[in-house]
């Protein structure tokens, strides 16, 4: 859970940094788009049943590593910020986290003779 909270903070940083450091419009727009996406995926991945959503931050983080050159940033602070956040998001999105419960077995449970989630509901 701590890794998801750090990624949430990094996404918030992407949203506020353009206002603090007066980025160019391309860098600011990129932060205003990538930041909320990272925050959304990180918050959804806090719940252990949706923990896999953490991996959806990989493409966003890779984009942050490439964006300064593709979009032609003219501010060194914007380049360092986006690339630093991109590396950190990759690292923290890779932290799996603790899974304590089994949530029904997925699609494979449809073809099982006696799925685990049905056994548990029969006992209640």
Cα separation, 53 vs 40, whole angstroms: 10
Residue scoring higher pLDDT (103 or 85): 85
Q: Which sequence spans correspond to the domains of the chain?
A: 2-98
Please tell me the predicted confidence (pLDDT) of residue 36.
Answer: 97
Separation CA 67–CA 72 (nearest Å): 8
pLDDT at 120: 52
Segment 49-54 shows an average pLDDT of: 87
Task: Write the DSSP string, 28-75.
Answer: HHHHHHHHHHHHHHHHHTTSGGGGGGGGGHHHHHHHHHHHHHHTT---
Query: Quick one: pLDDT at residue 9?
Result: 97
pLDDT at residue 83 greater than cutoff 90: yes
What is the model's pLDDT at position 118?
Answer: 59
Question: pLDDT band for position 50 (50/70/90)?
Answer: confident
């Amino acid at each position: 859970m701590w890794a998801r909270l750090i990624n949430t903070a990094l996404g918030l940083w992407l949203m506020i940094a353009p206002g603090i450091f007066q980025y160019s419009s391309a860098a600011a727009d990129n932060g205003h788009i990538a930041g909320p996406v990272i925050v959304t995926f990180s918050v959804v991945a806090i719940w252990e049943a949706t923990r896999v959503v953490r991996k959806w931050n990989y493409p966003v983080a890779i984009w942050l590593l490439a964006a300064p050159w593709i979009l032609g940033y003219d501010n060194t602070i914007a380049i360092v910020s986006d690339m630093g956040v991109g590396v950190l998001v990759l690292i923290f999105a890779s932290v799996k986290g603790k899974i304590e419960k089994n949530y029904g077995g997925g699609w494979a449970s449809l073809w099982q003779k006696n799925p685990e989630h049905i056994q548990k509901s029969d006992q209640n």
